[in-house]
Amino acid sequence: MPNPRVPRVAFGVTILSGIGLLVVYGTGGQPQLEGLLWFYALAGLGVGIIVGANNYLPNEESEEERHPLASSEEMLAAARADFHRADGGDEALDAERRSLLRLLAGAFAAIGVAVVFPIRSLGPHPSDDLRETDFAKGVRLVTVDGAPVKSGQLGVGELLTVFPEGHTRAGDSPTLLIRYDEEEFLPAGGRASWVTDGMVAYSKICTHAACAVGLYQNVTGLLLCPCHQSTFDVNNACTPTFGPATRPLPQLPIAIDSEGFVVAQSDYPEPVGPGYWDRMNNV
Amino acid sequence: MIRGIVRAFDERLGTARMTREVLNKVFPDHWSFLLGEVILYCFIILVATGVYLTLFFDASQQEVLYAGSYVPLQGVQMSRAYASALDITFSVRSGLVVRQVHHWAALLFAASMVTHLLRTFFTAAFRKPRELNWAVGVTLLMLAMVNGFTGYSLVDDQLSGTGLRIGYSIVLSIPFVGPWLSSLLLGGEFPGADIISRLFVLHVMIVPSIITLLLVVHMVILVRQKHTQFPGRGRREGNIIGLRLWPTYAMKAVGVFFLTGAVLALMGGLIQINPIWMFGPFRAADVSSASQPDWYVGWLEGALRLMPAWELRASPFEVPNPFYPSLVLAGGVFLVLYAWPWMEARLTRDHEIHHLLDRPSERPVRTPIGLAAISFFAVLFVAGGDDVIAVWLDMSVNTMVRILQLLAIVLPIVVFLVSRSAIRLRLRKQQEKAEPFCPRVGHSRWEARTLAALVLVFVWFTVTSLSSPSPHVLPETWTAKANAGMSGAQMYEAACAQCHGQNLEGVFGPAIGAGTDSEDMSDTLIQAVVFAGIGKMPPMPGVLTEIQVQEVIAFIRQLQGIG
Ligand code: FES
């Protein structure tokens, strides 16, 4: 005689938990209690059903024969014959059929190509977007709250995340404005005029996979991308010194305008952010 | 009554024969066959919880000022998607539990798929005639990963935005069409105008429909071909022995379904996952450090981190670095998976039909290859959290990366060689018992050469890492926000106020003002708590440096003095 105790207790637990759930929901709910009660309710069902099935239902093994999956040769031949039912006999008719089929294929192809074009509305042509940011000659660098940055605002070793004025939410524009240590800093060849008042600006978008390069160690002048630990040397044109990034962070040429605010001299000279195969094509 | 209905159906559809066939289907009684079932149960739970969430989620990028019930974010500008996800969490009845069950179920869905795949691989259940179903299964795994990623990205918090941005970089790195593809996907340059609504359509309609279809195909093929079985007494290629579906097996299966649900409910209720309210809305200029993706993309994250900084350039073209660890690696992995049954049949010249399974412990080539692959992925997976592990081990991230790069190459080879020798030894012992000893030779030369090559790799790595000019980066020495020079008050505001309140009054965390236990705690103790975390409070190394913590503590002391 099978022992009914386990399934009985289990189903009892489920009933009690169900009632408990009602109470919990009725009184406004509580995540931990809900999870716990659901656990008891469902576990009671599961255990009760499995143990019940083991005790009360037949448990002996059965044997089933396998029948070969492959069809017999005759069957294959018959199927082939069915498929080619229309073939043979009149050769001229066959040729005509074939040419009609070709035309039909052409018809489908024409429709197929035509339906591809509406997909084009999904997004604009990418290349200019990727190449440009909202920086341009004379555009002020502002903080996230929109406040323009004054020359002399940063102490040595400090840095600020800045944006082109009016575009503080653009994905490609976050830029790091860094007051470098004059003794350590090596302006890259031809870029001596890109810095101003001891400040240099680099794109904050990692050249590896576009994370924001968020961490700065001012003692060593290194920027670290927290995503895959690419490290960039601020004092040396932001060339990567560690990690998977292969290209320096692009530098933004900056100057001071007549009112003493930091402005861009132009847009970034190259696309910011991660690479793509024809990135350097007609930059 | 019921008899009448059954008869009515049978008169119109002839259902009795089909019913008999289904009720009599024989299922082999071995625990490993349950893994496949759990996949199905997870999917059912995913659909059920997913539908509930869909009713409340608003897949829109329109910016709103948050005015929901979560105090720390009130008045913050965010997308409606993120705002509605917060509402689901804090205002919808059972919303938090359902969301967490949904997330845990997705993780279990992927996990049971991977284990089911491993079971199928190691026991060679993929062999003829089941290659097609293997391919369907591999496709399902891929779709599960895609849907996990899209779901993770929908929420539009800082973490999901960061993940999405990395995904975007990977799409960009597709040869030549990358920029076009990403523009069409996002509706423009990152972050794009339409990305959330498009991800939403993918996540709740397109991918789940394909998954449903393929699950059905998978099971129809399974019924047609019948299960495999382990060899044993009475078990032949020509038969299958086990429990008939009805009634015992069906009942047990229902039981397992409820048990799966029970475990997921427990996890969803008690174990916090993806606490989106802590991350804030996505901002391109910010980054959340120590962010970890879901486990099934962890290996890709690790591969991105371990990839050396190679970049091929042939002006004006270049091959972006993420191309290798994402598209080449993932593409290669799935290609090998798809091709495996046919490849193996070709190499072993075994084109026979197999219904009896192999025992993994008796296959000296396939099993070691599988184990080597597992070890490779394990290294990548660990690498996905190398910064966190480096903090634990008090080691520089650089050394950690070098070690893991080395392990990714060496460990699989070692695992292969060791497991192969072990299996061979076992087989030889079995053989000796069965028949007189006949010595086998021939492989030692090859093994010696491999070992020599390994030693060379070791030497190369040591030399290059010693001569590497890179600074040794200890994560703790990095300042939190790029805005160095923040005052203690600002840092408190940024890192602590969310939970402990603007004036230490406590919000989700305890109050820490005057008269509380915190006032009596020493500075060192507070610092230790900040770094190690306690209870619900996350550990903060990498977020604040030691000096910064001291400044924050000074600020807290000041406030306690006022209070
Ligand atoms: S995104 Fe910066 S290192 Fe990968």
| CATH number of the domain to which B546 belongs | 1.10.760.10
Q: Say what the pLDDT of residue B489 is.
A: 74
In a domain, A83, yes or no: yes
CB-CB: which of A126, A158, A245 is closest to B180? A126
pLDDT at residue number A236: 92
CATH number at residue A268: 2.102.10.10
Residues B412 and B530 in one domain: no
Q: Model pTM?
A: 0.86
pLDDT score of B473: 41
Asked if A171 and B398 come within 8 Å (Cβ–Cβ), the reply is: no
**Which of the listed residues B412, B439, B467 is the one where a domain comes to its end?**
B467
Look up the ipTM and state it. Answer: 0.92
CB B412 within 8 A of CB B375: yes
Min Cα distance B292 → chain A (Å) is 9
Q: Find chain A residues with C-beta within 8 A of B469's C-beta.
A: 241
B318 lies in some domain: no
Examine residue B346 and state whether it is found in any structural domain, yes or no: no
Domain presence at residue A249:
yes
Integer Cα distance of B278 and B491 in angstroms: 16
Q: Do A129 and B183 touch (CB under 8 A)?
A: yes
- CB spacing of B252 vs A209 below 8 angstroms: no
Query: Per the domain annotation, does B494 fall within a domain?
Result: yes
Q: Reply yes or no on whether the pLDDT at B294 is more than 70.
A: yes
Indicate the pLDDT class of residue B467, thresholds 50, 70 and 90. very low
Nearest Cα neighbor of B533 from B399, B388, B397 is B388
| Number of separate domains in chain B | 3
Q: Are B268 and B368 part of one and the same domain?
A: no
The CATH number for B253's domain is 1.20.810.10
My answer on whether A135 and A9 are in the same domain is: no
Domain edge (last residue) among B241, B267, B286 = B286
Ligand 1 pocket member A209 (CB < 6 A): yes
Is the domain of A116 the same as that of A144? Answer: no
**B389 — contact with chain A (CB < 8 Å)?**
no
Q: For a pLDDT cut of 70, what percent of chain A falls above it? A: 99
Q: Are residues A212 and A244 in the same domain?
A: yes
Residue (of B305, B425, B417) closest to B369 by Cα position:
B417
Residues A182 and A216 in one domain: yes
Let me know whether B439 and B541 are in one domain: no
Residue owning tokens 């605010």 = A261
Kindly state whether residue B332 falls inside one of the protein's structural domains: no
Interchain contact A208–B (C-beta under 8 A): yes
Q: How far from each other are the two terminal CA atoms of chain A, in whole angstroms?
A: 85
What's the structural domain count of chain A? 2
| Pair A93, A197 in one domain | no
* d(C-alpha A79, C-alpha B162), whole Å: 56
Percent of chain B with pLDDT over 90: 56
Quick one: A176 and A268 in the same domain? yes
What is the distance between the alpha carbons of residues B179 and A276, in angstroms, rounded to a whole number?
A: 7
Residue B413: HSE in the Cβ half-sphere, 13 Å Cα cutoff: 17
Which domain does A217 fall in, by range?
Answer: 126-283
Q: Is residue B325 part of a domain?
A: no
| Burial group, residue A54, by CB count within 10 angstroms (0-12, 13-18, 19+) | middle
Whether B487 and B463 map to the same domain: the answer is: no
pLDDT band at B479 (very low <50, low <70, confident <90, very high): very low
CA of B170 to the centre of ligand 1 (A): 12
CA distance B257 to B48: 13
Choose one of B443, B467, B491: the last residue of a domain. B467
Query: Which are the contacts of A45, defined by CB distance < 8 A and separation ≥ 6?
Result: A10, A11, A14, B255, B258, B262
Q: Which tens digit of pLDDT belongs to each residue from B498-544?
A: 678 777 877 767 788 777 777 777 776 777 677 666 655 665 544 56
Q: Among B67-81, B103-117, B143-157, B250-264, name the one with the lowest average pLDDT.
A: B67-81
pLDDT tens sequence across B7-32 = 999 999 999 998 998 899 999 888 88
Residue B304, pLDDT above cutoff 60: yes
Asked if residue A69 belongs to a domain, the reply is no
Note whether A118 and A133 are same-domain residues: no
Same domain, B414 and B486: no
| Predicted pLDDT at B546 | 61
Considering the domain architecture, whether residues A189 and A205 belong to the same structural domain is answered as yes
Query: Quick one: B508 and B400 in the same domain?
Result: no
Which residue, among A234, A142, A220, has the nearest Cα to A179 in the 3D structure? A234
Residues A140 and A116 in one domain: no
B56-92 pLDDT tens trace: 999 999 999 999 988 878 888 899 999 999 999 999 9
Q: Mutate which of A176, A205, A230 to test ligand 1's pocket (most atoms within 8 Å of Cβ)?
A: A230
A83 with A143, same domain? no
- Read off the pLDDT of each residue in B339-348 and give the average, rounded to a whole number: 97
Same domain, A20 and A148: no
Q: Say what the pLDDT of residue B447 is.
A: 67
- N-to-C CA span, chain B: 77
> According to the model, what pLDDT value does residue B64 have?
94
CB half-sphere exposure, A57, CA atoms < 13 A = 17
* C-alpha of residue B400 to centroid of ligand 1, in Å: 17
Question: Taking CB atoms and an 8 Å cutoff, what residues of chain B touch A144?
Answer: 285
Q: Within this chain, do residues B70 and B186 fall inside the same structural domain, yes or no? A: yes
Q: Measured between CB atoms, does B397 come within 8 Å of chain A?
A: yes
Closest CA of chain B from A150, distance in Å:
16
pLDDT given at position B436 = 56
Query: Mean of the pLDDT values across residues B465-471?
Result: 44
Cα A157 to the center of its chain, rounded Å:
33
Q: How many beta-carbon contacts under 8 Å exist across A and B?
A: 321
Inside any domain, residue B294: no
Considering only CB atoms, which chain A residues are within 8 Å of B471?
220, 222, 231, 241-242
- Domain span at residue B539? 478-560
Regarding whether B487 and B383 lie in a shared domain, the answer is no
Distances from the Cα of B436 to the Cαs of B425, B427, B429, B430, in angstroms?
A: 15, 13, 11, 11
Same domain, B240 and B265: yes
In a domain, B90, yes or no: yes
Strands, DSSP E only, in B348-433? none
The verdict on B517 and B382 lying in the same domain is no
Helix (H, G, I), strand (E, B) or coil at A274: coil
A67 assigned to some structural domain = no
CA dist B35 and B350 (Å) reads 27
Does residue B454 sit in the same domain as residue B434? Answer: yes
Tokens of A71: 């069809």
Verify that A89 and A152 share a domain, yes or no: no
Residue at A68 is within a domain: no
Q: Say yes or no: B421 and B536 in one domain.
A: no
